[in-house]
Structure 1
């Protein structure tokens, strides 16, 4: 019996990149280097810019409790933008891609765990949990 690979969910990968970039933004170092298999990032006072080994690129800018993300996804050849608004332990996000896809969701931090839920106009929806110890 042949096994089929699971369908690739670009929204889930975008969210993981977003969560990775937010964690890097919280770091205190002036320049961050992530293992080359993930991404190489450069940081200034309020901007983080990253490029991964596949050529996907994204940037994160923070202003108060709002975070602005922009990026380019190689696989879909599309640009995207997302805005995150934080209210205590809860972060709401909305995004729009150059192909017209829109998405909404939230992340809720509970101790060392983050619960994430999203849905998009492209039909994707889901939830996943990330932990500082075990990852996503």
Structure 2
């Protein structure tokens, strides 16, 4: 998963509890929602779904540009959320998000060599 795409997934899941995944620029996604499932697709052919079970989020998606399917699991423990993911091309990633007041501290790394640490605030963004 590209660094920007991964950052979008991290931001989406870290900042908004039941996800409004519009962290990346581009056309808005069209979504369908049930009690525990959110399924979205955008005009560019990307799609994803988010399923909630207790404190765990299960995400699955398709990235049109890379022609890849991906899956990610986020587990929340108080102010900390850990996540792991894998894509159909074999790339894997891990990371965490820690909430401190209105700020989140985010860190991730991937088997493709990408890694990043960034801080986001609800007042100033990322």
Measured in 1, the distance between the counterparts of 2:117 and 2:104 equals 11
**Structure 1 residue 86 corresponds to structure 2 residue 76:** yes
Which of 11, 14, 17 is equivalent to 1:19? Answer: 11
* Residue 109 of structure 1, CA deviation: 0.8
Query: Mapping of 1:1-136 within 5 angstroms?
Result: 10-20=2-12, 23=16, 25=18, 37-136=27-126
Q: CA deviation at 1:52?
A: 2.5
For 2:31, what is the secondary structure of its paired residue? strand
> If you compute each CA radius of gyration, which structure gives the higher value, 1 or 2?
1
> What SS does the corresponding residue of 2:9 show, helix, strand or coil?
helix
Partner Cα distance (1:40, 1:129) in 2: 28
Q: For structure 1, which runs of at least 5 residues remain unmatched after alignment?
A: 1-8, 28-32
Q: How many residues get paired?
A: 123
User: Runs of 4 or more off by more than 6 Å in structure 1?
Assistant: none
1:105 CA displacement? 0.2
Compared CA separation, residues 18 and 55, structure 1 to 2 (3 A): farther
Per the alignment, in what secondary structure is the counterpart of residue 4 of structure 2? helix
**RMSD, aligned CA:** 2.6
Which deviations, in whole Å up to 9, do the C-alpha atoms of 1:15-41 show, x marking residues without a partner? 3135325626168xxxxx9x9723222
Q: TM-score w.r.t. structure 2 length? A: 0.84
Structure 2 vs 1, CA of residues 96 and 74 (structure 1 numbering), >3 Å: closer, same or farther? Answer: same
In 2, are the aligned partners of 1:21 and 1:60 still within 8 Å (CA)?
A: no
Deviation sequence 1:38-81 (CA, Å, 0-9, x none): 32222110011122332211111010111100000111110000
Deviation, 1:121, is 0.4
State TM-score, norm by structure 1.
Answer: 0.78
